[in-house]
Structure 1
C-alpha cells in the first residue's frame, strides 16, 4: 500500500505529455535520493542556493543560474528583474510599477497563457502582429522608452509567421532592450540549455524543472546574464518582497541539482531510440483496425525533436467519435490519458511512458476501438 492507495487515487498511464495537471514527469532514483538526503539535515539555505546555482550554471554552460518554483515563477522573477533591477526602492514598490519601464513586447502569433505571469510582477504585455504573423518592423516599432524586455516563447521552429528568437534578439539588442525566452518545455534537446543564451544571445531563458529535466515539478531554472540573475535573486525569497512566496526548499534545491546532472549525463540518442521503438509499436499494433490510420508525427506538439504516434479515426466510416474513444480509455483501469490531435486524431507521447506501458495502451485501444466498431455495426442492423 502506498500514499495513493491510502487516498483512494488511481495511478494514471500518461501518454499525453509532461503536463502540470498530471504531475509533470517521473523523477529518476538519483533525484529522489538527493531529495531524501537533503531532507535529513539542516543547512544554510543561502549557501546551498549559491552553490547549487553555480553548479547548474557550470553544467549548462551559462554565466549564471537561479532556481525558482517553476517556469511561471521564473517569468515573474525575470519580469521583476527587468522592471526594477537591483534597485531597493523599486523592489519595495512592485507590483506597482508606475513610472518604471514595465512594458513587455510579445508576438500575438506566439502568445501563450503562461506569459500572464508578467502581470504579477507589475508588467504590461504589448502584443504585436496578428494571430498568423509578426513582422520584424512591427516588433521593432513596439520597442520604446517604456519597454522593460521583449518576451518570446519558442515552439520548435515557432509559428510560420513568428519572428525567430535569433532575430528577436538582434532587434531588441539594437535598441538596448533585453530578451526573455520562455523555454519551459523546450527539452529535449539538451543543447537548448545553452543554445538560446550562448548561440542566440538571449539575456534570460526559463526552463521547467519538472518537464524534460525530470526534476521536482515545483522547480524551474532561470539561466543567463549574471546581473539579471542577481536581480532575480534580489526579488526572490528569503527577501520579503514580490518573490517571497516563491520559496524553494532544500529538498527541491538538491533535487533539481541532481536532475540537471542526470539529464546531461543521459544517453539521449538511446532515449530517442526508445521513443521511436514505442511509436513503431503503436503503428504496427494498431494498423489492423479498420477505419483507423496510425502514423508517426514529428516533431512533438511543443516543437521538441521527438516522435509521437498519431491515431486518426474516420468517425463517419467507423461509426465512433474520437472523444468517445478517449473517454473510454480514461474510464478504464488504470485510466489512460492521451492527447487530442486536431478534430479527429489522438496523439500518444512516448516521453511520459514507462517501459511496458505502450503495450497497456495498445491493448486497451484495440479493445476499445473494436468494441466501438462492433457496437456501431449492431446499431446499423437494428
Structure 2
C-alpha cells in the first residue's frame, strides 16, 4: 500500500541535521501516535483536559504547574500575554490592551532573533539591553520599571555572548518583582533541564513538544510557578483570546503527555551510548572513504549529545553544494552546515543504524566523484 507521501508525490528525507520544523520536527513513536488515535475517538471538555494534562506534566517534570501550547513559539505569545495581564480574565479578553497595562518585555539585544514576532504580536514593546560586547547589571536594572511585564531569556550558546548569566537576571528581576521567562525550546537532553531552570528560580520555562521529546510537532508547553501558569491558562483551550488561533487539539494534548511520560522514563544512558555509537560509525565510515570527519560536542544548541563535523579543505561554497547534492539525491539526506559554512555537521538525534550506513554509502560515492574532477573547480553539479 503506497504511503501518503507517495500518493502526494512528496519525497521523504533522512534527517541527519536536527529537529527542524521545516522537515516535521521529529518522528513520533508508537506511544504517542496510539495516544493521539485514542484521543480522537471521544469528545471531552477541552478545558478539563488542559487542566488535567497540565497537572500530569507538572508531576512528570517536577514542576509546580504546567500548561500545553501549540508549539514553543505559541508558548512565547501565551507567556508574554499572561505576564501582561496576570490572571485577570477580564483583561485577557480586552485585546488590544490600553494604557496602564504592563506592556514592556526586556530582552538582551544579543538574544533578539526571528522568534521576536511571537512576543511582539501581543502588542508588547521590546526593551533591548546591552549588545554583543556585553550587558551590565545597571542596564538591566534601568530597564525594569512599572511597565515591565517580564524578562525573556533565550538560553542557547549562540545567544550567550554579551548576555548576563541567567542566575544574575533571575536575581535582579526577582528584586523588582518581575517574572523571568526562559525559552529552552530545544534544550533537551539532558532530561534534568525539565526541572533545573525552575529550580534555579525561573518563573516560566518554555519547551518544544515536537523536537527531542518526539511529541506532535504542533505542541509545546510551559512549566513554572502556579500563579503565572494560572494566567497562561486564560490563553489556551477554547477561550476567546489573542491566542485563540493557537488552540491545541485534544489529540495533540494526549500525544504530548504520552511523549513526555515516555521521555522522562527512557534509559538516558543507553540513548547517549546509541548517539555515540552512531557518531563513531559515521566518523569511521566517512574517514575510510577519504573525508575528514571527527566527533564534536555538544549538540547544535548546547545539548548533551555528540555530532559529526566533516571538514572540507576546499574553497567556500563546496559545503553548500555538497549538502544540496545529498538533499537532491536518492535517498534524500538533510545535513547541516558548520557555522563557518566550510564543512558539514551530521546529527545522530534522529538517525538509526541503517540510515547511518546509507549516509556513509552516499558520501563515499560523492567523495570519489569529487576527487576525479578534472578541472579542479570543486563544483558539485
TM bin, normalised by shorter chain, reads over 0.9
**TM-score, scaled to structure 2:** 0.94
Confirm or deny: 8 A CA contact 2:131 2:162 kept in the other structure: no
- Does residue 302 of structure 2 align to residue 306 of structure 1? no
1:100-122 CA distances to partner (integer Å, 9 max, x unpaired)? Answer: 11111111222221132111112
The 3 A distance-change label for structure 1 pair 88 and 48 is closer
CA distance in 1, matches of 2:53, 2:159: 32
Report the Cα offset of residue 163 of structure 1.
Answer: 1.2
Equivalent positions of 1:1-382 (< 5 A) are 1-156=2-157, 159-198=160-199, 200-290=200-290, 292-316=291-315, 321-341=318-338, 342-376=340-374
SS at match of 1:93: coil
**TM-score, scaled to structure 1:** 0.94
The 3 A distance-change label for structure 1 pair 283 and 148 is same
Moved more, 44-53 or 133-142: 133-142
SS at match of 1:272: helix
CA distance in 1, matches of 2:374, 2:267: 46
Confirm or deny: 8 A CA contact 1:129 1:135 kept in the other structure: yes
Confirm or deny: 8 A CA contact 1:97 1:122 kept in the other structure: no
CA distance in 2, matches of 1:320, 1:227: 51
SS at match of 1:67: strand
The 3 A distance-change label for structure 1 pair 340 and 379 is closer
SS at match of 2:222: strand
Report the Cα offset of residue 379 of structure 1.
Answer: 7.2
Aligned length: 376
1:245-279 CA distances to partner (integer Å, 9 max, x unpaired)? Answer: 12111111110010000000101111111111111
Q: Which runs of 5 or more structure 2 residues have no equivalent in the other structure? A: none
Q: Which runs of 5 or more structure 1 residues have no equivalent in the other structure? A: none
CA distance in 1, matches of 2:282, 2:349: 14
CA distance in 1, matches of 2:161, 2:126: 22
1:339-379 CA distances to partner (integer Å, 9 max, x unpaired)? Answer: 01023011001002133111111111111122012124677
CA distance in 1, matches of 2:48, 2:85: 25
CA distance in 2, matches of 1:180, 1:311: 36
Report the Cα offset of residue 56 of structure 1.
Answer: 0.6
Confirm or deny: 8 A CA contact 2:58 2:223 kept in the other structure: yes
SS at match of 2:105: strand
